[in-house]
Structure 1
Amino acid sequence: MTFNPDFVDNTFGENQIGWGHGKHEFDKLVGSGHVELRLTDCNTDTVMHFVVDFVSEDPDSPSGFSSLGVSGGDRDGSMIIGDPDHILAVGTSLDRNLNGCGYSETVVDSPLTDEDYTPNPDAPDWDFRMTYDIWVDSAAFDGCFGQAYVTSVHASPSKFAEDTQETTPGECPPGWDEPYCPEAVCDTPPEEDYECPQNFTQYTNSEGCEGECVPIPFAGYTDRAACPTGYQLDLDTEGRYCVPISGEVCP
């Protein structure tokens, strides 16, 4: 889920963008922001209903802060209906910025940007959007998933007059479901019945990409690096794959 930056974003401190009615400080993002979701099966019965924490204090993370998913947070992160074991993973953009992209000390002022959220060359991987990623086990729906509803979202504060917004379904914009592959990954899957080489697997992501065979991260490469030479961990999948450092391998 990605929220309109007119509502909330990941800019704070001296470099905040569009927060004309007040200051947006990092500590206001901690332990308060959350999104509430309800998932149904094909019979429209509610199978899962939960609240996802955006970011909270976490001494076990590199930055001291992370998303606690459905299992914590000062006032957030809870399972209302369903088995929490069916939540396979949770990620948020701020968690990824701090702990996955190496910006663990960026907890006072976000990277400098402009009203178009142009990437900062000193922090090119910083995501200025507020996003939530949730991976759910299909077994929760007994093979028949119905629909996902965003019941409400809370940002404290938001750029709106009210921090908590009730949501209703609407029409999706054109092209919303087009598969997205990172620039470094060819969007050409292997031929049917083709088996990837040892320690390689086919690249797939939650945006519908079915790409080429890429290395699997593990500590068996030179100098115990996570990826072989010429590859890096893929931030789009929380480091599930190694992807080429450049996209020059693609035709």
Structure 2
Amino acid sequence: MLTRRVLSLLVCGCVAAALCASPALAVPVVDGRFDPGEGYTLGRYLNLTVEGLGPIAQQGELWTYQDPSSGDVFFAITQPKELIDNTYGANTVGWPRAHNFSDLTGSDKAQVQLTNALGQTVLDFNFDYFTAVGSGYDSLGATGGDGKILVGQLSWVVEWATSLDYNFNVAGYKLTTNSPATDAEYTPNITYPDWVYEVTYEGRISAAAFGTAGYGDIAVPVLHDSPNKLGKNKTWTETDGTIPEPTSMALLAAGGWLLALRRRKRNVVA
């Protein structure tokens, strides 16, 4: 039978384990595959307004993390699969008309804008999604394709990757005709289990971009998908509210369960 002391130790152990595994103790890996558990600490929803249609119910996500040692800022932008995804060819999901691989390499990009703590725009750039290069396909970030620097210095964009970049160049699934077959729930394909269906942009910005003022904020003024599932190209975004950090949610759930168990045992423990 569990004693109060044992239950207390279990609660403390749960807290300690969660803190040890906390994303705050890790640094994100910029590979195009978004995982909030790898280090991102602040998540915000993105309200979406599609050209010619207005606001839509689905929301995107914007996650950030600032490395306390270097001051560099990591970010990940993910669009809802109801708007755009990495399915194409014979295996599209939710597309009302044909969606080809070339649609994702034509002119897709995200505008990323960063400010310092004084509210001044220090870096503004278009982030290329995926482009044909000599060796195959790659995301060119702000260096080429549909990417370019609008304000600031190219050297400040230290790392970048996208989810289709991950699928081709990390997972090694170089599929230019049909994406992996899946269902409406995007169940992983057993032949291509690591295929990322979400459209994600991930990057790292040098602390040098913010100068002595330090980092302020990040925004995603516009996303360009040609086309999206609604038959449009441009989507404007606005941050709205925070997303609970996964580790915090797990900690609260586990701690709540143990505390409830302790209360139930109160009348029977020694």
Structural mapping, 1:162-241, within 5 Å: 162-173=232-243, 175=244, 177-178=245-246
Structure 2 CA distance for aligned equivalents of residues 179 and 31 of structure 1: 38
Give TM-score, length-normalised by structure 1.
0.66
Structural mapping, 1:90-169, within 5 Å: 90-104=160-174, 106-143=175-212, 144-169=214-239
Partner SS, residue 70 of structure 1: coil
Structural mapping, 1:7-22, within 5 Å: 7-20=83-96, 22=97
Query: 2:47 is matched with which residue?
Result: none
8 Å CA contact retained: 2:88, 2:178: yes
The one-letter code matched in structure 1 to 2:108 is G
Structure 1 CA distance for aligned equivalents of residues 93 and 242 of structure 2: 26
Partner SS, residue 170 of structure 1: strand
The gaps in structure 2 that reach 5 residues or longer are 1-76, 249-270
Structure 2 CA distance for aligned equivalents of residues 79 and 114 of structure 1: 38
Structure 1 CA distance for aligned equivalents of residues 139 and 163 of structure 2: 9
The one-letter code matched in structure 1 to 2:224 is H
Deviates more, 1:161-170 or 1:49-58: 161-170
1:42 lines up with 2:117 in the alignment = yes
Query: 1:53 is matched with which residue?
Result: 128
Structure 1 CA distance for aligned equivalents of residues 231 and 99 of structure 2: 14
What is the percentage of aligned positions where both structures have the same residue? Answer: 35
Deviations 1:20-72 (A, max 9, x none): 2x100001111311000110000000010000000011113xxx111111011
Deviations 1:96-118 (A, max 9, x none): 101110112x1100000011111
Structure 2 CA distance for aligned equivalents of residues 9 and 163 of structure 1: 14
Deviations 1:165-189 (A, max 9, x none): 111221133x1x3459xxxxxxxxx
Partner SS, residue 242 of structure 2: coil
The one-letter code matched in structure 2 to 1:57 is A
Deviations 1:134-169 (A, max 9, x none): 111112112510000001001111012421011122
1:67 lines up with 2:142 in the alignment = no
Query: 1:237 is matched with which residue?
Result: none
Count matched residues: 171
Structure 1 CA distance for aligned equivalents of residues 83 and 233 of structure 2: 9
Partner SS, residue 158 of structure 1: coil
**Where in structure 1 do 4 or more consecutive aligned residues deviate above 4 Å?**
none
Structure 2 CA distance for aligned equivalents of residues 29 and 169 of structure 1: 25
Query: 1:28 is matched with which residue?
Result: 103
- Greater RCO structure (CA 8 Å; 6+ sep): 2
Structure ranking higher in strand proportion: 2
Structure 2 CA distance for aligned equivalents of residues 125 and 36 of structure 1: 27
Structure 1 CA distance for aligned equivalents of residues 110 and 144 of structure 2: 13
Which has the higher Rg, Structure 1 or Structure 2? 2
1:78 lines up with 2:153 in the alignment = no
**Over aligned residues, Cα RMSD in angstroms?**
1.4
Give TM-score, length-normalised by structure 2.
0.61
Structure 2 CA distance for aligned equivalents of residues 172 and 31 of structure 1: 32
8 Å CA contact retained: 1:47, 1:140: yes
Structure 1 CA distance for aligned equivalents of residues 154 and 110 of structure 2: 16
Structure ranking higher in helix proportion: 2
8 Å CA contact retained: 2:226, 2:232: no
State the shift of 1:125 in Å: 0.6
Deviations 1:195-250 (A, max 9, x none): xxxxxxxxxxxxxxxxxxxxxxxxxxxxxxxxxxxxxxxxxxxxxxxxxxxxxxxx
